[in-house]
Structure formats: structure tokens, C-alpha cells
Amino acid sequence: VGGLGVSISRTLYALLWSKKLGWAYNCAVYSAGMIIERAALCANDKVVAIAGRNFFFPSKPGTFHDTCTKYARVNAIVHAALCAAAGPGALIWLFWAELGWQLPPHPAMAMFISNHPSSESADAGGRLC
């Protein structure tokens, strides 16, 4: 979407964004897109750890995939240790802590949106969503 490569959130924006349904609806679309994209990235991390390759970047050199694999495997070990020590709630808390600053009404959300420009942003009437 928009020539920026694969992006779950930008695809959802393109499909569901509405000028008619208002800013609250668009905030919900934005939030749903970010939640789904972050959950997919968490799952992809485990795929990379098991497969030894990041399938989102098929043209990258082997050294890139080796680095991604090492990082993903260390993450998997840390996640397993957190689950063993504190239960699955620890991972759920980390997921929402990572995601929280990207969602309305957190003030840092504006910083995140500025990294994801939209051709429709001039029409939003100055609102963040």
C-alpha cells in the first residue's frame, strides 16, 4: 500500500478508512490495524526463530537472516523464561506496553503517525485520527 512495502496496518487503513464515519471510527480503524500488525510481528518472530529465515525480506543476504534468526531465538528464550517465571500474563503485559504508546489517546501516538504518512492526512481537519 502506498509503495512502502508490506504493511498490515496501512492495508487496513486503505480498506476501511472513511471520510463519512468520522474521527472516532477512524481512530478505531487505526487502533485495530496497529494491534493486528503488532500481533503478527510477535508471531513472525517465532516463525523466524524456528525457520531460520525472515520471509518478509526474501531478497536480503544470508547474513541478514542469520542476524534475524539469532535475535528471534534469543527473544524466544527470554519469552519462555518470562512465561516460566511469571506466567503468560507477563508477555501479555509486554505486548500492551509496547503497543500502548502507539494508540490514542497517548500523546506519543502523534510521533508514531508522523512516521506513517497518509495522503489523506490533509483532509483530517487537524485531528490525529
Mean pLDDT, consecutive 10-residue segments, the chain of 129 residues? 63 85 88 89 93 89 94 95 94 88 74 55 49
What pLDDT is stored for residue 127 in this prediction?
A: 52
CB-CB contact of 83 with 77 (8 Å): no
Cα torsion 20, 23, 25, 27 to 10°: value is: 150
Residue 113 has a pLDDT of 60
Contact residues for 107 (Cβ-Cβ < 8 A; gap 6+): none
